[in-house]
């Protein structure tokens, strides 16, 4: 319910009316509500991933990525997520979710969500995602070209490349395990 409420509030602000460049950072302001809390009375770790979804939809609308997705009849698919939690958010506190594209490779696009309050980064969620159409995966190069971005990705930070490599290794391990079970 909380996700739908936040999405509705974000959509009421009509973010597509304020276009942003695909490598810009987009910002959504939010507030902590009672259903966001865990037993320690601060935002539960899992809620950050839900709030990142709202930030990502805001980014997609402001940058025009939704237009490219519609052209390809594609839907966004999150493949992997990673979170770093630094400081807590408490009931009724306001904060911002800063979303930006870090770059892309031959299969994935990488997006960062920073949760910021009073200029301090409280937590970070990083995802790798792709867009899948009825014809298959839309290559990140085709997607960013449709957004008016250069085909060459900004350099990926070493930690991001290492994380992506570890995600690929885990996927391969799981495929091998499944194959042995058949």
The sign one gets for the Cα dihedral 85, 57, 144, 133 is positive
Q: Rg for the chain (alpha carbons), in Å?
A: 17
Q: Per residue in 79-111, pLDDT tens?
A: 999 999 999 999 999 999 999 999 999 999 999
What pLDDT, on a 0 to 100 scale, did the predictor assign at position 1? 46
Q: DSSP string spanning 106-136?
A: SS-EEEEEEEEETTEEEEEEEEEEEEEETTE
Distance between CA atoms of 19 and 26, rounded to whole angstroms?
10
Q: Per residue in 35-53, pLDDT tens?
A: 889 999 999 999 999 999 9
Q: What are phi and psi of 111, to 5 degrees?
A: -125, 140
Q: For residue 6, is pLDDT > 80? A: no
Q: Is 86 exposed, middle or buried (0-12, 13-18, 19+ CB in 10 A)?
A: exposed
């Amino acid at each position: 319910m909380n996700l739908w409420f936040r999405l509705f509030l974000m959509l009421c602000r009509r973010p597509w009316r304020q276009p942003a460049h695909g490598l810009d950072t987009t910002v959504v302001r939010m507030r902590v509500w009672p259903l966001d809390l865990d037993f320690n009375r601060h935002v539960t770790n899992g809620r950050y991933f839900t709030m990142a979804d709202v930030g990502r939809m805001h980014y997609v609308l402001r940058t025009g990525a939704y237009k490219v997705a519609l052209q390809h009849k594609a839907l966004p698919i999150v493949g992997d997520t990673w979170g770093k939690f630094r400081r807590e958010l408490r009931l009724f506190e306001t904060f911002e979710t800063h979303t930006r594209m870090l770059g892309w490779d031959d299969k994935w696009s990488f997006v960062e969500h920073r949760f910021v309050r009073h200029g301090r980064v409280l937590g970070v969620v990083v995802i790798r995602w792709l867009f899948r159409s009825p014809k298959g995966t839309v290559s990140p190069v085709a997607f960013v070209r449709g957004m008016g971005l250069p085909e060459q990705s900004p350099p990926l930070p070493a930690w991001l490349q290492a994380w992506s490599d570890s995600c690929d290794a885990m996927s391969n391990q799981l495929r091998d395990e499944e194959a042995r079970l058949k």
